[in-house]
Structures are given as C-alpha cells and as structure tokens.
Structure 1
Amino acid sequence: MFGFLRQSAPALPIADAIQQVANGDMILIDIRDHGELAYSGKAKGALHIPMMRLADRADPRHPDFNKALSPDKAIGLYCASGARSQMACGLMKCLGYQNVHNIGGLGHWIAAGGTVEKA
C-alpha cells in the first residue's frame, strides 16, 4: 500500500550529491513550502518546486512543466527532514525520472558542507 515511500535506488551520500550539483551533473530540488524557504534559505543552486506543485512542474506533458528539469539527468530532492523528499522521489519515478535521489533535509546538506543561499 505504501510502496511509493520506499526508495529502491541505493542512497547517495550527500557529499557526492554536493559535488554532482557543483559539477552540473545533478539537478537539485527543494520541495519545501515558501515559508520554510523564506525562513532558512535554500541549498545553493537548488530549484524551488514546492511539493504541492511537483506533480505538474515535473511532468513534461503538463503546461507548467519546469524546462530546467530533464528525465535523463540525475535529480536530488530535499525537504526539511527527508520524509517529503522520499515521497517526492516516488512521484518523480512515476513521471519517468530514473536517476532520483532523496538527499534528506536541508540540515543534512549543510552538515555535509553544502552552502545555502537566501531565497
């Protein structure tokens, strides 16, 4: 029943995600809501697509599709703790994205040396 919550791909170490984002090899998505973003900023280079908009913004068939996304590129998702980003990974896979990673929460990003920028 809750199979969409399971991440089938092996977990990607956050330090690797930081390097991939810096190299342009991974698209990083912050799925937190606007209030969370305003309060704490976001990971440097991350797209902000709130969880409630992810289904349409990540769907290439939808008129609101974010053209910065590519089903062929690695995608890293984070939220505040990693729970919502885990659900978002399942959604992205249902939309055809193959290389999707839950990197946890913004705090995990910071603890691994990732930088934050004000939104």
Structure 2
Amino acid sequence: MFGFLRGGTPRIAPAEAVAKVKAKEAVLLDIREPMELRATGRAQGAIHVPMAAFAMRCDPASPECLPELKNGKPIILYCATGARSGMAGSMLTRMGHAQVFNLGGLSDWMAGGGQILR
C-alpha cells in the first residue's frame, strides 16, 4: 500500500545484508532518530546517521562526509519500517553513490540473523 515511499532503492534480502556487513563488504547505515536507537538499540556494525545530518554526513562533496562512505563499498540502509531508508537511498544515488540498498527496518536485520546492540 505504501510501497511508493520506499523510492527506487532496490531491496536486499536480510540474510544477504547481514552477511555482507559481517564480511565488511558493505556499509550499514541506521538513519533513525536518536530516540529510536535508545528505545530499540541498533544493528551490530551500523553507523548512525539521522536524517537531520544525512546530507552533510553522506554526500561525498561535503567536507563532513563519513570516510566509510568514500571507499566505494555498497551502502545498506535501514530505518524502522523501510520507508525513510528507501527515500534516503534515492538521495544517496543522486549524491553519486553507485550501490545502494534498502534493507527495510530493524526487524529485517534481526530476521536475517543480525545482532542488536543496546
């Protein structure tokens, strides 16, 4: 019903996302707000970049861009349900990142066997 909110960012299977992050073959971004992290924890290996800081921290043209996002590795995003991460994925693609995937929500990470840090 709300699939249009996920943008054009391709989905990645949870188990594949967990395996790629564990093998350090991809960068995992948690784009939820700080209060969401406090309530539920975050995926092991995830870098937290809330939407308020997204453009500044993820755009390679920004002096504040995270070094982890400058190495050309695939980027996997998640939020609470997959809607915001789908939109953020479209933004990353427009910023010039070549391989961007939407995992969906934190529950998808857990469904793929990923661990949660609290």
Could you tell me which amino acid in structure 2 is paired with residue 6 of structure 1? G
| Counterpart for residue 37 of structure 2 | 37
Cα distance between partner residues in 2 of 1:12 and 1:68? 20
- Bigger mean CA deviation after superposition, 98-107 or 70-79: 70-79
Cα distance in 2 between the residues matched to 1:8 and 1:81: 14
Moved beyond 6 Å, runs of 4+: none
Amino acid at match of 1:60: P
Q: C-alpha separation between the residues in 2 aligned to 1:68 and 1:8?
A: 20
Q: Counterparts of 1:74 and 1:83 in 2: how far apart (Å)?
A: 19
The answer as to whether partners of 2:9 and 2:100 remain within 8 angstroms in 1 is no
Corresponding residue for residue 8 of structure 2: 7
Deviations 1:4-45 (A, max 9, x none): 953254x32110010000000000000000000111110000
Counterpart Cα distance in 2 of 1:28 and 1:69:
10
Correspondence for 1:96: 96
Partners of 2:102 and 2:24 in 1: CA distance: 17
**What count of residue pairs does the alignment treat as equivalent?**
115
Percent identity of the aligned residues?
A: 38
* Aligned-residue offset at 1:55: 0.8
Task: Give the letter aligned to residue 81 of structure 1.
Answer: T
Q: Give unpaired runs (5+ residues) of structure 2.
A: none
Structure 1 Cα separation of the partners of residues 71 and 90 of structure 2: 14
CA distance in 2, matches of 1:34, 1:5: 21
> RMSD over aligned Cα, in angstroms?
1.7
Residue number in structure 2 paired with 1:78:
78
Runs of 5+ consecutive residues of structure 1 not aligned to the other structure: none
Greater shift, 86-95 or 60-69, is seen at 60-69
Whether the 8 Å contact between 1:27 and 1:74 is mirrored in structure 2 is: yes
Contact 2:5 2:84 in 1 (8 A): no
Query: Could you say which structure has the greater relative contact order, defined with CA pairs below 8 angstroms and 6 or more residues apart?
Result: 2
CA shift, 1:68, in A, is: 1.7
